[in-house]
Amino acid sequence: RRRRRRRRRSRILLLSLLRSQQPETTEVPLSITEAMAVCKDDVEMLKPRTDKRENRQIVLKNSLQVLLITDTETDKCAAAMDVGVGYFSDPDGLEGLAHFLEHMLFYASEKYPLENSYSKYISEHGGSTKAFTDSENTNFHFDVNTDSFEEALDRFAQFFIKPLMSADATMREIKAVDSENKKNLLTDYWRMSQLQSHISMESHPYHKFGTGNCDTLEVRPKAKGVDTRQELLKFYVENYSANLMHLVVYSKESLDKIQSLVEDKFQEIRNSGRSFPSFPGQPCSSEHLQILVRAVPIKEGNKLTIVWPITPEIHYYKEGPCRMGYRIGC
């Protein structure tokens, strides 16, 4: 369960499918509010000619957008949930809260109260779990043997319905976040990423320290009389809304069967109608540009990195801006 910033996403197919544009809040027409889900037949899915899998896009009545994929040849099933909030949305004075919440959701839920039972179930049934917190999104995903998928999916769904975040678990997981940060300090990638964030405008969320540690999540808040757990619960309620989420489910079952599972297990996710967070302005002013920074790495070696800010690619995703990056880097 690691936070990742501006790095290659997991090679799992599901994640690449999730990285589409963030749409405006989806409103389900009143004439079909009684339906469990609405199929988005007007969306054209572009696939390679060699891809024989079938897919379907639906929107649940709580405005959760879902991509269903059926693959009769797979021996594993998988799911991924992408939530449209990340560490850019951390409250002032509580840096790392979004990442901390990512950790806490793994612990337990009202339906499955035994701590760490989700991760244990997945590992005992031939699967794996991962999650990461990025600047503007938080992603959770897993894979598991096909015969264990339905229960795994139910356990997964409870993250977003009724998670338990006990006081004891809160204190333990703050230490886990702190340990993760200490490990990152020994990695050049993380050190350089944080250095790059530091050389930006303090008023912009890009400047934030997204991982968090004991100092930002316990010591400083406590000194100010802030209850971190209460802020954690508040952050969850305010930001984990169905209309800000995108779900992908991959299985060997038929699309109708997958849709039935999704409708049954995810329709209870609350939709607060919250808009996607926006972060206007540029992270760097003229004083942060055209500068040279020298840093001593942990590992021996020399490396040159050239960085310049561009307009967020989310506005130009149809033009495929990542292709230019690949061509320049090749």
Q: What is the pLDDT of residues 196-236, one digit of tens each?
A: 999 999 999 999 999 999 999 999 999 999 999 999 999 99
Angle (nearest 5°) at CA 242 between 274 and 256? 150
Task: List CB contacts of 7: < 8 A, sequence separation 6 or more.
Answer: 189
As a 3-state breakdown, the chain gives helix, strand, coil percent values, each rounded to 5, of 40, 15, 45
CB 170 within 8 A of CB 181: no
Domains of the chain, start order: 13-266 (3.30.830.10), 286-329 (no CATH)
- pLDDT, residue 300, reads 87
- pLDDT, residue 40, reads 67
How far apart, in Å, are the Cα atoms of 74 and each of 9, 29, 86, 276? 22, 35, 32, 34
CA distance 220 to 173: 17
Mean pLDDT of 3-24: 41
- pLDDT, residue 181, reads 96
Look at the alpha carbons of 311, 315, 318, 322 in this order and tell me if their dihedral is positive or negative. positive
pLDDT, tens only, 48-100: 889 989 999 999 999 999 999 999 999 999 999 999 999 999 999 999 999 99
Q: Which two tokens stand for residue 141?
A: 């995903």
Coil, helix or strand at residue 246: strand
CB 103 within 8 A of CB 1: yes
* Cα–Cα nearest to 69, from 47, 38, 42: 47
- pLDDT, residue 330, reads 58
Mean pLDDT of 302-317: 82
CA distance 149 to 182: 35
- pLDDT, residue 42, reads 63
- pLDDT, residue 35, reads 55
Mean pLDDT of 291-308: 91
pLDDT, tens only, 154-184: 999 999 999 999 998 999 999 999 999 999 9
Residue 303, CB-side half-sphere exposure with 13 Å CA sphere? 12
Angle (nearest 5°) at CA 19 between 106 and 55? 90
Catalytic member of 95, 102, 180, 253: 102
pLDDT, tens only, 228-281: 999 999 999 999 999 999 999 999 999 999 999 999 999 999 999 999 999 988
CB 135 within 8 A of CB 313: no
- pLDDT, residue 18, reads 45
How far apart, in Å, are the Cα atoms of 233 and each of 26, 109, 113, 240? 25, 13, 17, 10
Q: Which two tokens stand for residue 16?
A: 């690449």
218 labelled catalytic = no
Measured in degrees and rounded to the nearest 5, phi and psi for residue 59 equal -125, 120
Of 17-21, 85-89, 106-110, the one with minimum mean pLDDT is: 17-21
Q: Which two tokens stand for residue 245?
A: 């989420």
Catalytic member of 95, 136, 173, 231: 173
Place of tokens 């302005």: 281
- pLDDT, residue 17, reads 42
CA distance 247 to 118: 18
Residue 306: is its pLDDT beyond 60? yes
102 labelled catalytic = yes
Map 159-174 to HEC letters. Answer: HHCCEECCHHHHHHHH
CA distance 79 to 89: 25
Coil, helix or strand at residue 55: strand
More confident residue, 29 or 39: 39
Angle (nearest 5°) at CA 123 between 57 and 84? 40
Residue 36: is its pLDDT beyond 70? no
Look at the alpha carbons of 166, 122, 131, 241 in this order and tell me if their dihedral is positive or negative. negative
